[in-house]
Amino acid sequence: MLFAGTPVGQAQSVLVFSSGDTTLSQSWPDNNLGGLSFANSGTTQNFTTNRALIRFNVAEVVPAGSQITSAELVWEVTREPGDGYNSSTFGIHRLLRDWGEGDNVSAPGGLNPGSGSPADPGEANWTHRFAGTPETWGAPGGLSGLDYAIQASASATIYGIGQSPYSFGSTPGTVADAQVWLDNPSANFGWMLISQSEQLDFTARRFGSREDPVNAPYLLLNYLPLPEPSAASMVLIGLAGLLVRFSRR
């Protein structure tokens, strides 16, 4: 509620860094990759699929009651296929169910540095939102309409490292998502990054994760704080309280 005489809140800006990110890997369906310095998304040359998960703790940095006016995701591509790549539009879809980031990395000396390692209980992998529990994805890798929103909140065409960083610009969808996460933190499950051309090989990319201090993804938010009641309004509220007390005598 705005009180009479209350000045409109001044617009504020803040960078929110990822509070959790990982990869769902079809190539390594039982593994968790939450501790790696990158997250994968897209389709490999072997036609296996990756999807990245990411979330931001908006309520930790934006005052409660604020109005989000813009929300832009900036994400660095840190690696592209070595044998050439296909460009692809990637969309960020609001996740509808919770998941466990995990902190697994690949085994030292392993053949694939992006394989991660077997998921511990409570960590996300290709089949489970929380490994070691009955909490699976609706389908391996996530099911549209159950695990994530059908409509992408924003999208960006991803090429190579040379065009990085990439912006998933502010849209009504990203603003609505950020507002939900601010007003109801328990519903903050983040976004799933999905290539819109998963049938096309060589679209897989590595995106910097929060474990990468140089290429960590961030969310740029603009918001209007909840205005403070004016002095005159506070006097009126105090008088109203006194009238209520006297009326009860």
3-state SS track over the chain = CCCCCCCCCCCEEEEEECCEEEEEECCCCCEECCCCCEEEEEECCCCCEEEEEEECCHHHCCCCCCEEEEEEEEECEEECCCCCCCCEEEEEEEECCCCCCCCCCCCCCCCCCCCCEECCCCCCCCCECCCCCCCECCCCCCCECCCECCCCCEEEEECCHHHCCEEECCCHHHHHHHHHHHHCHHHCCCEEEEECCCCCCCCCEEEECCCCCCCCCEEEEEEECCCCCCHHHHHHHHHHHHHHHHHCC
Q: What is the pLDDT of residue 247?
A: 52
Give the pLDDT score at 76: 98
What is the domain range of residue 241?
12-247
The answer to whether residue 21 sits within a structural domain is yes
Of residues 112 and 234, more confidently modeled: 112
- Has residue 88 been placed in a domain? yes
The pLDDT score that the predictor gives to residue 228 is 63
Residue 3 lies in a domain: no
Tell me the pLDDT band of 7, cut-offs 50, 70 and 90.
very low
The answer to whether residue 226 scores a pLDDT higher than 90 is no
pLDDT value at position 224?
97
User: Does 7 fall in a domain?
Assistant: no
Residue 158 belongs to a domain: yes
| 179-223 tens-digit pLDDT | 999 999 999 999 999 999 999 999 999 999 999 999 999 999 999
Q: Does residue 132 lie in a domain region?
A: yes
Q: Which of 78-92, 103-117, 209-223 has the lowest mean pLDDT?
A: 103-117
Count of domains for the chain: 1
Does the pLDDT of residue 2 top 60, yes or no? no
pLDDT at 111: 62
Q: What is the pLDDT of residue 245?
A: 54
Between residues 41 and 84, the one the model is more confident about: 41
